[in-house]
Structure 1
Amino acid sequence: MSTIAPTIAPRLRLSEIAPAVIQSEIRAMSVECDRIGGINLAQGICDTELPGVVAEGATDAIRDGFNIYTRLDGVQVLREAIAAKLQTYNHLTVDPQSEVLVTSGATGALYASLLALLNPGDEVIIFEPFYGYHVSTLISLRMKPVIVPLAEPDWQLDLDALRGAITSNTRAIIVNTPSNPSGKVFGRGELEAIAALAIEHDLFVFTDEIYEYFLFEGIDHLSLATLPGMRERTITISGLSKTFSITGWRVGYLAASSRWISAIGYFHDLTYVCSPAPLQFGAAAGLRQLADSSFYTDLASSYEAKRDQLCAALEDAGLQPYVPQGAYYVLANAERIAGANSSERARALLRATGVASVPGSAFFRPGLGDHLLRFCFGKRPADLDLACERLREF
Structure 2
Amino acid sequence: MTMTTAIASNLRVSDLAPNQVQSEIRAMSVACAAVNGINLAQGVCDTDTPHPVVEAAIEAIHAGHNIYTRADGIESLREAIAQKFARFNQLEVDPDTQVLVTSGATGAMQATCMALLNAGDECIVFEPFYGYHLSTLRSMRITPVIVPLEAPEWAFDADRLRTAITPRTRAIILNSPSNPSGKVFSQNELEALAAFAIEHDLFVITDEMYEYFVYDGVEHFSIARLPGMAERTITISGFSKTFSVTGWRLGYLAASERWMPAISYFHDLVYVCAPAPLQHGVTTGLLALPGDFYTSVAADHQKKRDVLCGALRTAGLTPSVPTGAYYVLADTKNIPGKDGRERARRLLKETGVAAVAGSAFFGSDASGVNRGEDLLRFCFAKKDAELAEAAQRIAAFRI
TM-score by length of 1: 0.97
CA deviation string 1:189-247 (max 9, x = no partner): 11111100100111000000000000001111100000010000000000000000000
Aligned to 2:393: 390
Deviation at 1:358, TM superposition (A): 0.3
CA deviation string 1:131-183 (max 9, x = no partner): 00000000001100000000011100110010110110000000000000000
- In structure 2, how many angstroms separate the alpha carbons of the residues matched to 1:328 and 1:293? 20
Aligned to 1:185: 184
- In structure 1, how many angstroms separate the alpha carbons of the residues matched to 2:96 and 2:136? 28
CA deviation string 1:84-123 (max 9, x = no partner): 0000000000000100000000000000000001100100
CA-atom RMSD, angstroms?
1.1
Aligned to 1:111: 110
CA deviation string 1:247-290 (max 9, x = no partner): 00011000000111111000000000111000000000000001
Other structure's SS at 1:10 match: helix
Other structure's SS at 2:247 match: coil
Matched, 1:306 2:282: no
Count matched residues.
388
* Paired letter, 1:308: D
Q: Give matches, 1:342-353, under 5 Å.
A: 342-353=340-351
Q: Give matches, 1:88-103, under 5 Å.
A: 88-103=87-102
Deviation at 1:47, TM superposition (A): 0.5
Aligned to 2:226: 227
Aligned to 1:3: none
Aligned to 2:367: none
Aligned to 1:371: 374
Deviation at 1:293, TM superposition (A): 3.5
Deviation at 1:7, TM superposition (A): 9.4
Q: Give matches, 1:100-249, under 5 Å.
A: 100-249=99-248
Other structure's SS at 1:205 match: strand
Structure 1 unmatched runs, 5+? 1-5
Deviation at 1:9, TM superposition (A): 8.2
* Paired letter, 2:350: A
Aligned to 1:80: 79
- In structure 2, how many angstroms separate the alpha carbons of the residues matched to 1:186 and 1:201? 20
Aligned to 1:333: 331
- In structure 1, how many angstroms separate the alpha carbons of the residues matched to 2:191 and 2:67? 43
* Paired letter, 1:369: G
- In structure 1, how many angstroms separate the alpha carbons of the residues matched to 2:13 and 2:61? 41
* Paired letter, 1:120: A
Matched, 1:266 2:265: yes
- In structure 1, how many angstroms separate the alpha carbons of the residues matched to 2:271 and 2:298? 32
CA deviation string 1:308-360 (max 9, x = no partner): 01000000011000000000000000011000111100000000000000000
* Paired letter, 1:348: R
Other structure's SS at 1:148 match: strand
Aligned to 2:313: 315
Other structure's SS at 2:248 match: coil
* Paired letter, 1:225: A
- In structure 2, how many angstroms separate the alpha carbons of the residues matched to 1:284 and 1:142? 36
Other structure's SS at 1:294 match: helix
- In structure 1, how many angstroms separate the alpha carbons of the residues matched to 2:171 and 2:318? 35
- In structure 2, how many angstroms separate the alpha carbons of the residues matched to 1:392 and 1:156? 29
TM-score by length of 2: 0.96
Other structure's SS at 2:160 match: helix
- In structure 2, how many angstroms separate the alpha carbons of the residues matched to 1:43 and 1:128? 19
Other structure's SS at 1:236 match: strand
Aligned to 2:278: 279
Q: CA 1:181 to 1:54, structure 2 compared with 1: closer, same or farther past 3 Å?
A: same
Deviation at 1:187, TM superposition (A): 0.6
Matched, 1:61 2:64: no
Q: Percent identity?
A: 63
* Paired letter, 2:139: S
Aligned to 2:383: 380
Other structure's SS at 1:259 match: coil
Q: Give matches, 1:9-20, under 5 Å.
A: 10-20=9-19
- In structure 2, how many angstroms separate the alpha carbons of the residues matched to 1:135 and 1:344? 23
